[in-house]
Amino acid sequence: MAIENIKMPQLGESVTEGTIEKWLVQPGDHVNKYDPLAEVNTDKVTAEVPSSFTGIIKELIASEGETLAVGEIVCTIEVEGGGSKPAAEEKPATEEKAPASNKEEAKISSTPAKPSGAKGRYSPAVLRLAQDNDIDLAQVEGSGNEGRITRKDLMKLIDSGNIPKAGDAPAADTAPAQQEQPAQTSAPAAPKAASAPIESAPGDIEIPVSGVRKAIAANMLKSKHEAPHAWMMIEVDVTNLVQYRDSIKGEFKKKEGFNITYFAFFVKAVSQALKEFPMMNSMWAGDKIIQKKDINISIAVASDSALFVPVIKNSDEKSVKGIGKEVNELALKARSGKLKSADMQGGTFTVNNTGSFGSVQSMGIINHPQAAIMQVESIVKRPVIMDNGMIAARDMVNLCLSLDHRVLDGLVCGQFLARVKEILENMSKENTSVY
């Protein structure tokens, strides 16, 4: 029999890593091809890792709660038909070493002073996070298997502010000049007090953090750490749009079977403006900016226990009715637990309907690796001074834009928001069709 590797699959276009939430098999279990092996969480979706082979699970390389980069080995499987069982038993040492060797091949080795042991091997995700935050991995204690450093370990250090730098050496290793200033040697330990565990008091309720919530938290933290956020807001008069939608909503529901919402009109307007300002539909990629050809709008959809961000693909090619229908279908899938990984992939710009909660002004965190997110706030009646000097009650809405200042600047974002405003203010019964 032959030993094969099962690797972390790419569960989305921009997904680079996944966290093993729960193993569904154990060593010695027989599995068929395509049987689920583990539940994996990413910042986009929760999915199952299927087996690529029929055989017997040999070793679980990754532990539950461990985050691995796409392509890293999660487990090994003894594939049927690769040889006879007696032959395998004659060379047990070879079989036992194969998974460990393959595991090492999937890691990027670092810190030559510690060539042996799990702590001397780091995943690409850990190395990238350490480089981005100038963390000296040699001074980090890992919580993974055999003391291996995980992404979670580094995120805790970043949150606490107690980041070990390459120059932070123990007092015993310092030069005589440094020993004359003992007060400085204890300085790095000071931030530890800020990261003391929070204790529950009598009557407090402890809520376990779900895998989806962990993935959301990790992605939001990554976005705030990596992307320099800036913020803009524009006020839009949607009185004509409100009157138009109110005039057709009854007949539309009877004909199409679902409600036509304001949100569908906003997504349509944003999609049209993105086509005219393609820089808004871009992503930061380290040494380059990638301007995406397809316009795929990510939207936030909540179920009873989690928040999901499915994607409306090629939204610029869809009518208001088509967008509204897809929003309705994605919401139903989320609430019934039927969203698939394909539904969550490929988003290039996010539109968030914060107005559904009554919000009138908010600043969203960008959905990494996108360059911007727009919050559609609540439509409210406000007194407005018209061009003729008269005061009238108008339906007004705020559009709030958070942007990645590495990719975008105020000029293009201001022009983009002005164009969205123009499109929305000209939506009316006379010049807008939902079909």
Active site residues: 405, 409
Q: How far apart are CA 435 and CA 58, in angstroms?
A: 56
DSSP E strands, 140-286: 229-237, 282-284
Angle at which helices 239-256 and 320-336 pack, to 10 degrees? 70
**Residue 22 β-bridge partners:** 39
Q: In what order do the strands lie in the sheet with 2-7?
A: 2-7, 73-79, 55-60, 30-31
For residue 355, which of 321, 400, 310, 422 has the smallest C-alpha distance? 400
Q: How far apart are CA 198 and CA 98, in angstroms?
A: 43
Cβ-proximal residues to 58 (8 Å cutoff; 6+ apart), any chain:
3, 27, 75, 76, 77, 78, 95, 99
Q: How far apart are CA 426 and CA 269, in angstroms?
A: 10
Q: How far apart are CA 138 and CA 124, in angstroms?
A: 16
Give the residue carrying structure tokens 């949100």.
263
Q: Which amino acid is at 184?
A: Q
**Residue 302 β-bridge partners:** 307
- H helix or E strand, kind and range, residue 18: strand 17-23
